[in-house]
């Protein structure tokens, strides 16, 4: 049953939370009463999107009305279509290469002897090998982050879903696994035929011995099985459940994935033995054997350049200039690094040799390009982040420290400008910055930014940058953005605190009401807190929890109403919807973006940051 607040909200367009009770309700009471009592105070503070009343008459933007087939296609193309078409093309390419390869090896007049000796499995093995070589072209490119960052800014960015780079890498990896299985099975049958044709092995025992021993003495077979050991190990540790298992799961995945280097070397050797010869000379020319490297070349060279670039960048003068310990196990590192230019919404890789020389961890920049330092907000979740927190002097374990951070919204632990509190900070190295979809926020006049929990980090940088641009701090960099809706979904109060100062500054400066902030609290609220909120909130101009003009909402956002309201307020506009956080919410937002897009009204372009 919808909450009372929802009911009242329906009429006025006030309540954008879904009315479902917050989770984690042990020792916690329903928030309906709070909602009722806060309504009056909120009503005065609610901003544009929230106060949207349903327009009279027929809506220009009505996504539920029947659409023509062409309109449905154009809506599908906005978010879903591009990715689906790309992956269909990916599959078609595989099919095409497999068919062409099969026809080629089945008809080639120089391979009659091989076909006569082994039959169709020879043709299948060769066609599968050709498809595998094509996969080698693609396997490294999606993990070349500099390459992707540059390519996404070219017209290619309109065609290729660069946000799905890791999905493409995985899809290519699976294609290599499938191709390898087909290739191996076909060659096992070929070996069986070779065994039967071996006149030296007359008894079954001799044939079995030959069949088994051939795997250890024939070059292509030895290298083939070694390649399987590498591929199988990479696959085993890369599986989602093992990679995210905690307790070193990611590290095991990361280190074993480097077996791709011996895998490629073995692949090159695998094709150089010239065991199955063509009918006519030249039997084994430079052009026909060991051609793996030609397919590998483009991706391989770009990958090597990226590694070299990382080495070069990691040698640039870099030091931590300030460490701030925030509530909810979040620490902020402000870093000075020479020769670094960043854009809002980008991320960097951080390495701390004191902790591990090999581990590079990605973190989104929370500083704006207009600032003279770069900053990251890091949530302490596992081995690396815990060790980093310790080495920069943060103490999230002791209650006293927690209290201090919570009370002030952040405690400065280290600062190069304040020797009194300074300690020796560890050396860090940085690679990047690299681009993400959030970078594209400036392409739209209206954007909806949605962060969940620590997933708010890319928007810290974006909101700061918008703030600088709105105030024209950098001549000539005024933005065409006219309206920004920022929505943050968090579980408890303290999560919001480290971000408060920025949101306050934005509200203060935003005299034209161009940024609308909405915070949704999805965790339970304690009885004591409810009383405090009610007492402070009634009649107040500011929210009792955040002290912002924008009220805090309880429960999950009602996306249907939010998107409907956006469509009404910005008809005929392209709205950029940018999200960072858990996958479940990403699916809802993608669905809503498609559902509420109207080819003759507002179109919602969804972009997701992969954490
Ligand atoms: C593009 C991107 C931006 C990110 N931005 C932020 C941010 O701004 N703030 C923040 O707190 N966190 C961010 N993260 C997550 C952060 O990288 C991980 O929390 C961190 O690496 C965890 O390391 P750990 O050893 O402490 O924890 P672990 O317990 O070892 O790992 C926790 C989870 O983090 C992921 N992870 C671990 N190591 C890596 C790695 N080297 N590369 C990629 N993922 C890894 C894995 O999914 C793992 O299951 C971001 C991740 C990505 C991919």
Residue 381 Cβ < 6 Å to ligand 1: yes
Quick one: which of 321, 344, 333 has its CA closest to 474? 344
pTM for this one?
0.81
- Tell me the pLDDT tens digit for each residue of 71-126: 778 888 888 888 889 999 999 999 999 999 999 999 998 899 999 999 999 999 99
Q: How confident is the model at residue 589 (pLDDT cuts 50, 70, 90)?
A: very high
Count Cα atoms within 13 angstroms, Cβ side, for 42. Answer: 25
Does the pLDDT at position 502 exceed 80? no
pLDDT of residue 414: 64
For residue 532 the two structure tokens come to 């405090």
Ligand 1 pocket check for 244: Cβ under 6 Å? yes
Q: Are the CB atoms for 115 and 122 separated by under 8 Å?
A: yes
**Average model confidence (pLDDT) across the chain:** 81
Give the pLDDT confidence score for residue 521 in this predicted structure: 86
E-assigned strand segments in 75-213: none
Report the number of secondary-structure helices (H) and strands (E) in the chain. 22, 15
Considering only CA atoms, which of 374, 364, 369 is closest in space to residue 335? 374
Ligand 1 probe mutation, 169, 242, 247, 250, most atoms within 8 A of CB? 250
- Please state whether beta strands 330-337 and 552-554 pair in parallel, antiparallel, or not at all (unpaired): unpaired
User: Is residue 312 predicted with pLDDT exceeding 80?
Assistant: yes
Under DSSP, is residue 100 helix (H, G, I), strand (E, B) or coil? helix
Is the CB–ligand 1 distance for residue 457 below 6 Å? yes
Question: 597 by DSSP, 3-state: which?
Answer: coil
The residue with greater pLDDT, 497 or 291, is 291
- Mean pLDDT is highest, among 36-40, 496-500, 510-514, for 510-514
Does the pLDDT at position 510 exceed 80?
no
Phi-psi region of 498 (alpha: psi -120 to 50; beta: other; left: phi over 0): alpha
CA distance linking residue 140 with residue 300, whole number of Å: 7
Domain ranges across the chain: 4-52+436-609, 75-311, 316-434
- Ligand 1 midpoint to CA 363 (Å): 7
**Minimal CA–CA distance to 37: which of 586, 406, 530, 576?**
530
The answer, yes or no, to whether any atom of ligand 1 lies below 6 A from the CB of 573, is: no
Number of CB atoms found within 10 A of residue 545's CB:
20
> What is the dotted CATH code of the domain comprising 316-434?
2.40.30.10
- Residues whose CB falls within 8 Å of the CB of residue 7, separated by 6 or more in sequence, listed in order: none
Alpha carbon nearest to ligand 1 atom 35, residue: 250
- Indicate if ligand 1 lies below 6 Å from the C-beta of 38: no
Q: Which two tokens stand for residue 227?
A: 């390649």
Contacts (Cβ under 8 Å, ≥6 apart) of 327 = 402, 405, 406, 409, 410, 494, 495, 497, 498
Nearest protein CA to atom 15 of ligand 1, as residue: 611
Same fold, 4-52+436-609 and 316-434: no
Q: Which of 256, 346, 355, 362 to mutate to test the pocket of ligand 1 (most atoms within 8 A of CB)?
A: 362
Alpha-carbon distance of 473 to 468, in angstroms, equals 5
**Residue from 141, 356, 386 nearest 251 by CA:** 356
- Share of residues in the chain with pLDDT > 90 (%): 37
CA max distance for the chain: 99
Pocket probe mutation, ligand 1, options 142, 344, 382, 451, max atoms within 8 Å of Cβ: 382
CB atoms within 10 A of CB 95: 10
Q: What is the CA radius of gyration of the chain?
A: 30
CATH fold of the domain at 4-52+436-609: Rossmann fold (3.40.50)
As a whole number of angstroms, the distance between CA 7 and CA 36 comes to: 10
Residues in Cβ contact with 438 at an 8 Å cutoff, skipping those fewer than 6 apart: 344, 345, 449, 458, 459, 462, 578, 580, 607, 609
Contact 556, 489 (CB under 8 A): yes
């Amino acid at each position: 049953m919808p909450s009372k607040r929802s009911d009242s909200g329906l009429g006025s367009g006030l309540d954008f939370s879904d009315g479902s009770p917050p989770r984690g309700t042990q020792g916690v009471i329903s928030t309906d009463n709070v909602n009722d009592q806060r309504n009056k105070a909120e009503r005065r503070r609610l901003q544009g999107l929230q106060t949207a009343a349903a327009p009279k008459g027929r809506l220009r933007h009505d996504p539920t009305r029947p659409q023509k087939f062409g309109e449905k296609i154009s809506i599908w193309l906005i978010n879903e279509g591009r990715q689906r078409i790309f992956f269909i093309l990916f599959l078609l390419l595989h099919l095409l290469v497999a068919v062409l390869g099969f026809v080629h090896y089945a008809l080639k007049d120089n391979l009659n002897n091989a076909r006569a000796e082994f039959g169709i499995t020879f043709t299948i093995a060769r066609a599968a090998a050709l498809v595998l070589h094509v996969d080698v072209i693609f396997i490294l490119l999606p993990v070349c982050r500099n390459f992707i960052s540059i390519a996404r800014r070219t017209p290619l960015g309109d065609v290729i879903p660069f946000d799905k780079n890791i999905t493409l890498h995985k899809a290519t990896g699976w294609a290599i696994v499938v191709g390898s299985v087909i290739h191996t099975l076909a060659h096992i049958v070929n070996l069986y035929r070779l065994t039967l044709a071996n006149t030296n092995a007359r008894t079954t025992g001799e044939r079995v011995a030959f069949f088994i021993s051939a795997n250890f003495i024939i070059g292509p077979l030895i290298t083939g099985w070694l390649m399987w050991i590498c591929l199988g190990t990479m696959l085993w540790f890369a599986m989602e459940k093992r990679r995210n298992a905690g307790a070193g799961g990611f590290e095991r995945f990361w280190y074993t994935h480097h077996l791709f280097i011996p895998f490629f070397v073995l692949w090159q050797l695998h094709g150089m033995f010239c065991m199955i010869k063509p009918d006519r000379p030249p039997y084994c020319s430079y052009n026909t054997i060991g051609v793996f490297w030609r397919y590998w070349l483009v991706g391989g060279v770009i990958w090597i350049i990226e590694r070299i670039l990382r080495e070069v960048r990691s040698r640039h003068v870099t030091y931590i200039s300030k460490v701030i310990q925030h509530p909810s196990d979040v620490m902020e590192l402000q870093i000075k690094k020479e020769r670094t230019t960043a854009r809002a919404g980008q991320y960097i890789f951080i390495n701390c040799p004191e902790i591990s020389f090999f581990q590079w961890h990605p973190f989104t920049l929370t500083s704006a390009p207009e600032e003279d330092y770069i900053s990251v907000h890091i949530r302490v979740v596992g081995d690396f982040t815990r060790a980093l927190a310790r080495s920069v002097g943060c103490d999230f374990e002791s209650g006293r420290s927690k209290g201090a951070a919570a009370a002030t919204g952040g405690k400065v632990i280290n600062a190069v400008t304040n020797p009194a509190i300074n300690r020796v900070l560890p050396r860090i190295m940085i690679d990047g910055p690299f681009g993400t979809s959030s970078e594209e926020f400036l392409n739209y006049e209206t954007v909806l930014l949605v962060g969940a929990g620590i997933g708010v980090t890319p928007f810290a940088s974006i909101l700061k940058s918008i703030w600088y641009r709105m105030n024209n701090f950098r001549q000539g960099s005024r933005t065409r953005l006219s309206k920004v809706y920022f929505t943050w979904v968090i579980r408890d109060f303290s999560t919001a605190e480290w971000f408060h100062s920025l949101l306050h500054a934005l509200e203060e400066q935003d005299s034209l009401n161009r940024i609308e902030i909405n915070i949704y609290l999805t965790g339970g609220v304690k009885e004591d807190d409810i009383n405090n909120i009610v007492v402070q909130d009634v009649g107040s101009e500011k929210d009792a929890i955040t002290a912002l003009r924008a009220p805090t909402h309880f429960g999950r956002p009602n996306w249907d109403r939010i998107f409907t309201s956006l469509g009404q307020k910005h008809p005929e506009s392209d709205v950029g919807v940018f999200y960072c956080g858990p996958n479940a919410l990403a699916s809802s937002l993608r669905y809503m973006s498609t559902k509420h897009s109207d080819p003759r009204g507002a179109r919602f372009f969804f972009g997701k940051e992969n954490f």
